[in-house]
Amino acid sequence: MNVPLPLAAGDNLIATDALTLQFKGKLALDHLTMTVARGGIHAVVGANGAGKSSLFRVLLGFQAATSGSARVLGCDSEHLTPALRGRIGFVNDEHTLPPWMRVDEVTALQRKLYPAWSDQRYHAVLRHFNLQPAHRVAELSRGERAGVSLALALAQGPELLILDEPTLGLDVVAKRVFLTALMDSSYHDGATILYCSHQMDEIERVADQLIILERGRLLHASAPDDFCARMRLWVAEGELRAPDLAALPGVLQIEHIDGCTHVVVFDEGEHFATRLRRLGADSLHQMPIGLDRAVNAMLSRNHAGSAFPLPVAQPA
């Protein structure tokens, strides 16, 4: 088990500064400046192509940035030493393991490599999969392979665990087991977990911090509850005029459903009702929204194919 280091102000395990990654004419990361504090589960979300996997590749030193910097465990990510790499776990959605090896052989190898190895953590995840230790990796289903690679990553006792869509392909029970193990690792072992997912129910359940990327830039970072608390759904009877409505400050998403106009608004208080009334709304209701809807509204604003791209709000 890792001995968690004390959490001091400014104790960031990850810090990027104007981090930029460019592919032929395309910016995967665009002057991204963000931090990840020690401890807790940090969820990175964003539309397809927002730069999540690119960020992870740069943080892990698999890819050199075009400009800017990324520091991981206090070291430039391009110069991570083997000792520092040993403190970082990584799992991607392909769950790449040597196909020719047996499950027990992979396990024995990893047990030897990682001094903080925990059999208890390993079996806590793996016992939920109906696996024979003598099975070869090549014989495993996708979900079973995911189970093995996630169990291995958690058992390594990493100080920092980076997971790229780790639960893709897991059935609902396996997903629950894995998420519980993730929370245990964070809570009991002090691991800092950075992971990306498109599944908001999952994030709502486990994440302490929400990091939203859009086109390689930081759009928002806060606790998920704080993010949702700043969102409101207004429902007005009738169809309000879309161009005027879209021009109002804070408007993220407009939908017309069953003769009503639904407007998701960020950081606007009660006074927003007055603005809606000026556009002709007479019967109005407002309500809080959950994380799924809130993230959806934030991202749909500038999503490719959006009916009305709205002005970009500044990150909080």
Ligand X SMILES: Nc1ncnc2c1ncn2[C@@H]1O[C@H](COP(=O)(O)OP(=O)(O)OP(=O)(O)O)[C@@H](O)[C@H]1O
Binding to ligand X (CB under 6 A) within 19-38 occurs at: 23, 26, 28
Q: Whose Cβ is closer to ligand X: residue 14's or residue 124's? A: 14
Regarding 46 and contact with ligand X (CB under 6 A), the answer is yes
Regarding 49 and contact with ligand X (CB under 6 A), the answer is yes
Q: Whose Cβ is closer to ligand X: residue 24's or residue 271's? A: 24
- Stretches 42-50, 82-90, 217-225, 238-246: which one binds ligand X (CB under 6 A)? 42-50
Number of residues lying near ligand X (CB under 6 A): 11
Regarding 54 and contact with ligand X (CB under 6 A), the answer is yes
Regarding 52 and contact with ligand X (CB under 6 A), the answer is yes
> How far, in Å, CA of 110 to CA of 309, rounded?
49
CA distances from 39 to 17, 120, 160, 185, 207 (A): 21, 21, 9, 10, 11
In this structure, how many other beta carbons lie within 10 angstroms of the beta carbon of residue 79?
8
Distance of CA 58 to the CA centre of its chain: 16
Regarding 166 and contact with ligand X (CB under 6 A), the answer is no
Q: Whose Cβ is closer to ligand X: residue 33's or residue 66's? A: 66
Regarding 53 and contact with ligand X (CB under 6 A), the answer is yes
Ordered alpha helix ranges (H), the chain: 52-59, 82-85, 103-113, 119-126, 142-155, 172-189, 200-206, 224-229, 242-246, 272-278, 291-300
Regarding 274 and contact with ligand X (CB under 6 A), the answer is no
Question: For residue 284, what are the β-bridge partners?
Answer: 236
Q: Which of 8, 48, 79, 120 binds ligand X (CB under 6 A)?
A: 48
> How far, in Å, CA of 307 to CA of 222, rounded?
28
Cβ 44 vs Cβ 29: under 8 Å? no
Q: Whose Cβ is closer to ligand X: residue 74's or residue 309's? A: 309
- Binding site residues, ligand X, CB under 6 A: 23, 26, 28, 46, 48-54
